[in-house]
Structure 1
């Protein structure tokens, strides 16, 4: 199954969290939203860290915000009262028929079909 990986799991991976590394190893087809790409890159501190983040993120298929994704994000934001970045990430997973892998239980319901919360910190 293909998976859209949320920013928190990507950041955990980069910080050496073993649970994140184990989780990412499970997916042959790893994908991210452009929002997650931006969130990870915005946290990079210095040129060396930025280069490392770019190299890591280059191993993922990156999905732009299409009109279909935007429509779904608006619906999710309205129905679930999510912040727009979270709505876009979830909409990206839904539009592409992918599992959303996240650690964010505040914004994404754990029991919701299509959402996987593999670990907590």
Structure 2
């Protein structure tokens, strides 16, 4: 299998990968470790940050762990450029694919597009149709499923 990390130098990490890392799931942990070891560019959307910290039962320790993971990369704000790209992707998804792309997902995908980055997610099926437009996807669980 071709190592997806060697195909790109920039990565946007989806919320689910961080959640699986916090749960200690080997595939997610190894993916983030590999990005860190290879000193690649890692980005997280502020929407990912919001999703992670919105769990109502987070302990102080869990909050520290989340912050530690997010500090390994750069947080990308949802500015006008990201918002407009997300809107474009949502419209395109509905018009050309009859798919409803949720706004948080559209923001994460827009971030990947704007940073010319590979999106790391376990939810590849939610986004694979966007490969037609150049979206690169990596599911670190793929080789295990």
Give the structure-2-normalised TM-score: 0.75
- Unmatched 5+ residue regions in structure 1? none
Task: Provide, for residues 32-84 of structure 1, a one-character-per-residue CA deviation record: whole Å limited to 9, x for no partner.
Answer: 11111111112361223222222222222100012111111001111212000
Say whether residues 1:91 and 2:110 are aligned partners: yes
Q: 1:65 aligns with which of 59, 72, 78?
A: 78
Q: Classify the secondary structure of the residue corresponding to 2:101.
A: coil
Aligned counterparts of 1:46 and 1:63: Cα–Cα separation in 2: 25
Aligned counterparts of 2:136 and 2:125: Cα–Cα separation in 1: 16
- Unmatched 5+ residue regions in structure 2? 1-8, 94-99
Name which one, 1 or 2, has greater alpha-carbon Rg: 2
Say whether residues 1:9 and 2:17 are aligned partners: yes
Following TM superposition, where does structure 1 have runs of at least 4 consecutive aligned residues deviating by more than 6 angstroms?
none
Q: How many residues align?
A: 121
